[in-house]
Amino acid sequence: MSRVPWRLLLLAALAAAVVLTYVICAPAMLPRDDLDKDSSPKDGLSAKPPPAAHTKPSGIAYFLPIAEFTDSKWIRMNTILNKAARVCDTATLQSVGRKRAADMRCDITVKSGKGWINLCVKTRAMIQHLCETDGLGNHEFFVKLDDDTMVDPSLEEYIMREMSGRDVYFGYTPGHIEQHLRYRNWFPGPFYGVSANVFKQMCACNMPPCTEKLPWEDQWFGYMLGECNITREDILFDKGSIFHREYTAPRVSVKFHQYTD
Ligand SMILES: *[C@@H]1O[C@H](CO)[C@@H](O)[C@H](O)[C@H]1NC(C)=O
């Protein structure tokens, strides 16, 4: 009987030791991702540009074409957009002036494709640049975003969980099922991507150019995969993960809505 309290005491001491060890060592056991977040810039324009996407720990390399009127504040507020590599073009950089050019914080600058109307040319140039520079690094996926997209961050987990190890082209479909059927060979511009192996196949192909008949980057992308005979599964998301912003500054009123057409 008298030995029981001693055992309890021993147990308590052990528990205390375990807790103490955890408290001391926990910071070192944080996943790389969290450490990265902690050291990310807290404030805006004076902060250093983020490293290019291929140095990020995420399994997805995001790319975000930046235009003259892209809202930098919107990007900083947005978990997914903020970790994308920002893709600029020389003509826009030359036309906007030094202050705005710095604010754009370009990670990649391509030589062609100024303005929304030339986004197809710019996207194609961006992909070629990534092919030439091994721009995906060891990421598993390539994703292209629009600068007014809002993405539910849980989509990232979903992609990593469901698509790892598969050769896929993924995106969402706007609107109704007829449109999905009609346009089933491409996914809309706000968010689409492919796995690294599909990307590698793209790089090996002489990609068709953007044309007047095919001026839209997202449609071109789907068309290009077809023309290049790229083997892949097409994966359709529930569009509930991708939103379009409505955002007004400076007192800020943010609304999100789903794409409907
Ligand atoms: C794709 O396949 C078609 C039909 O087999 C062929 O004519 C075409 O040359 C191929 N394209 C490429 C880029 O390999």
CATH code, domain with 172: 3.90.550
Please state, in angstroms and rounded to a whole number, the distance separating the CA atoms of residues 258 and 146: 14
In this prediction, residue 154 carries a pLDDT of 86
CA–centroid distance for 9 within its chain:
53
Question: CB atoms < 10 A from the CB of 37, how many?
Answer: 12
In this prediction, residue 54 carries a pLDDT of 44
User: Considering the domain boundaries, does residue 49 fall inside one?
Assistant: no
Say how many domains are in the chain.
Answer: 1
Question: 24: Cβ–Cβ under 8 A, 6 or more apart, which residues?
Answer: none
- Across the chain, mean pLDDT equals 77
Helix, coil or strand: residue 35: helix
Helix, coil or strand: residue 227: helix
User: Considering the domain boundaries, does residue 28 fall inside one?
Assistant: no
β-strand partners of 181: none
Tokens of 86: 């920002």
Averaged pLDDT for residues 205-217: 91
User: Considering the domain boundaries, does residue 27 fall inside one?
Assistant: no
Averaged pLDDT for residues 102-120: 89
In this prediction, residue 73 carries a pLDDT of 87
Q: Give yes or no for residue 205 CB within 6 A of ligand 1.
A: yes
User: Considering the domain boundaries, does residue 245 fall inside one?
Assistant: yes
pLDDT category of residue 240 using cuts at 50, 70 and 90: low
Tokens of 161: 């969980």
Nearest protein Cα to ligand 1, atom 6? 229
In this prediction, residue 116 carries a pLDDT of 77
Nearest protein Cα to ligand 1, atom 12? 228
Query: What is the extent of the structural domain holding 199?
Result: 67-258
Averaged pLDDT for residues 129-154: 93
User: Considering the domain boundaries, does residue 227 fall inside one?
Assistant: yes
Q: Give yes or no for residue 228 CB within 6 A of ligand 1.
A: yes
pLDDT at 35 over 80: no
Nearest protein Cα to ligand 1, atom 13? 228
* Mutation to probe ligand 1, out of 206, 207, 229 (largest number of atoms < 8 A from CB): 229
User: Torsions phi, psi of 34, nearest 5?
Assistant: -65, -40
The pLDDT > 70 percentage for the chain reads: 65
User: Considering the domain boundaries, does residue 46 fall inside one?
Assistant: no
- Ligand 1: centre distance to CA 229 (Å): 6
The pLDDT > 90 percentage for the chain reads: 45
pLDDT at 150 over 80: yes
pLDDT at 135 over 50: yes
pLDDT at 177 over 80: no
Nearest protein Cα to ligand 1, atom 14? 228
User: Considering the domain boundaries, does residue 230 fall inside one?
Assistant: yes
To which H or E segment does residue 204 belong?
Answer: none
Q: Which residues of 78-104 are buried (b: 16+ CB within 10 A; e: fewer)?
A: bebbbbbbbbbbebbbeebeeeebeeb
- Ligand 1: centre distance to CA 222 (Å): 15
In this prediction, residue 254 carries a pLDDT of 60
pLDDT at 216 over 60: yes
Q: Give yes or no for residue 2 CB within 6 A of ligand 1.
A: no
Q: Give yes or no for residue 229 CB within 6 A of ligand 1.
A: yes
